[in-house]
Amino acid sequence: MGRATGCTSSRKRSSRPASGLDFHRQRRKSFPEQGGFPMKKTMFAVALTAMLALTGSAGAQNFPDRPVTMIIPFAAGGPQDTIGRIIAQRMTELLGQTVVIENVGGAGGMTGSKRVADAKPDGYTFVLGSVGTHAQNQTLYKHPLYNVVTDFTPVAFLAETPIAIITRPDLPVNNLKEFVAYAKANQDKMQFGSAGAGSATHLACVVLNSAMGTKLVHVPYKGTGPAMQDLIGGRIDFLCDIIASGKAQIDGGKVKGIAIMTKDRSPVLPNLATTGEQGLDVQAYTWSSLFLPKGAPADVVKKLNAAAIGAIETPSVQERLKGLGATAAKKDQQSPEWLGKFVASEVKKWEAPIKASGVQSD
């Protein structure tokens, strides 16, 4: 009896094992604000977030650790492609990783640009944009494949290529004032050529017509080469063409250079006065700039910008650009912020003349 009683008394004094329900009740009492186990989940989530943030930061700091791709949204061999390859070669040296060129043409340059807009914003894929892909196409196409302001991260403005007003050799004008007077007096028969409807060369003449207050006949060609041949032969009256295409013919006397459509004179044709100098407030040019997808890390943007600007500030690169009629970006044009504002202003600049020209496409 005594043994049994003692055993019973011992069991009363000892704590009985807690059931699963009791255990959770005790956890809630001990940690009422966290709820027990959920606190561990919260702590794990915080730690994981911090780890991922550090990993992403480290990735940006080590960028690039493999080759990067520059999408050129036009066929190989054109002016934009040539400029891109010149820049990419020097960027390869500065980044310590190869800049691979990939030509992705189509839809006025929108196909290649769209690929970049949809790419992962890690810095390894960027596009060489132009006045066409990142300004004019926003109005030229009724349903553009992207929004240049919201779908891209500006990186660097690289170069500007002036457009010049070039006439047939026997047109009876020698300066812009005479050209405007002749155009107004001969609107019913004067014709201008271009590389094709909606091309930069066509739209340059569109804004020229608007500034002159004339409506001249447009003759579209499949490229500026055939248009230049017809200009030399006197079958059309004038072109608005990039300066590199017309320099040899102007120097050789095969055509006349009337004005350069930029704010400043070009070192390629320093004796050719600007439209502004000659009393007409109109400008037209093509340009080349780098863009990443939207959401690219700031450190990556900074590194690519530094490499791109380092490339265009290299004397040998500047000489090669000059040979194409292109002028490297000035100091005040070199930041991503400047490029972002510039692109927005270019979209606005081209909207009215494109709509007025009636060349919009689906």
Domain identity same for 197 and 344 = no
276 found inside a domain = no
Boundary-marking domain end, from 205, 226, 260 = 260
Q: Which domain holds residue 196?
A: 163-260
CATH of the domain at 253: 3.40.190.10
Q: Number of folded domains in the chain?
A: 2
CATH of the domain at 83: 3.40.190.150
274 found inside a domain = no
Question: From the CB of residue 25, how many other CB atoms can be counted at a distance below 10 Å?
Answer: 13
For residue 323, name the pLDDT band (cuts at 50, 70, 90).
Answer: confident
Domain identity same for 167 and 256 = yes
307 found inside a domain = yes
DSSP sequence for 222-271: SSHHHHHHHHHTTSSSEEEEEHHHHHHHHHTTSSEEEEE-SSS--TTSTT
In this prediction, what percent of the chain has a pLDDT beyond 90? Answer: 70
For residue 242, pLDDT over 80 is answered with yes
Average pLDDT, the chain: 87
Grouping H, G, I as helix, E, B as strand and the rest as coil, residue 183 is helix
3-state secondary structure 5-74: HHHHHHHHHCCCCCCHHHHHHHHHHHCCCCCCHHHHHHHHHHHHHHHHHHHHHHHHHCCCCCCEEEEECC
pTM above 0.85, yes or no: no
pLDDT tens readout for residues 60-108: 679 999 999 999 999 898 889 999 999 999 999 999 999 999 999 999 8
